[in-house]
Amino acid sequence: MVRLALTFFACWFLVVTSVSAGPLDVQVKHVRTPASAVTATVELRDVLPDRFRKLIDDGGVLHLRVQTELWESRPVWDRLVYPAIVRVFRLGRAPAARTISITDTSGTPPTPLPDPLPVTVDLGNSDRVTASERYYVHVVATLGTLADREADAVGDAVFGRASETNGLGSLGRLVFRTVLQVSDYLQSVTAEVKSRRLSGRDVLQR
């Protein structure tokens, strides 16, 4: 019986290890308050699985959705401190380009896709964090394809229409909370993680 239990545990451990080592791995690296806002630094590895690479090589486009939340850890019901922050990135390859590029919501020019990919998120004002409480960051990252209609709508929401040149449009392109839902993807891969519990005092470190 003991040998059977050990064998089961070993198999379970291998399954867990293989899942965590799969494509699109996400980790929470830092949660700090360098200024007035609580900032989380998220790191994504193996962003482009092989099954999606051919799609880009054939001229297709992928969208990477990163949803980040700060939660207060409580004995019964955890509390969401801020509304979820959603950022969407566009992955593609320009004609005749050798490298795959990524464009973020700030509207900056496309840059080569790094591995790992760091993502810094301003979660909200620090006055909602109490030094004596405990907190954790929850991140859900989804990479996938969209129908052409949804892709156009996402492009307008993320980067703005060509006619939008006012400050409000620029702000909308920089920070937004809801752009697309995970259910909008035709095919996708998702990674989810919760950080370790942190004291509010640690979160408020500058």
For the entire predicted model, the pTM comes to 0.73
Answer whether residue 4 is part of any domain: no
Phi, psi angles (nearest 5°) of residue 185 = -75, 140
User: Cα–Cα distance between 29 and 118 in angstroms, integer?
Assistant: 9
Give the pLDDT score at 134. 97
Answer whether residue 150 is part of any domain: yes
For residue 37, give the H/E element and its range.
strand 37-45
In which domain, by residue range, is 27 found? 23-203
Give the pLDDT score at 168. 39
Answer whether residue 9 is part of any domain: no
Residue segments in the chain with a per-residue pLDDT below the cut of 70: 1-22, 95-96, 105-107, 147-185
User: Cα–Cα distance between 162 and 159 in angstroms, integer?
Assistant: 9
User: Cα–Cα distance between 139 and 163 in angstroms, integer?
Assistant: 34
Answer whether residue 11 is part of any domain: no
Answer whether residue 130 is part of any domain: yes
Answer whether residue 162 is part of any domain: yes
Give the pLDDT score at 18. 29
Give the pLDDT score at 12. 34
Answer whether residue 5 is part of any domain: no
Answer whether residue 57 is part of any domain: yes
Q: How many domains does the chain have?
A: 1
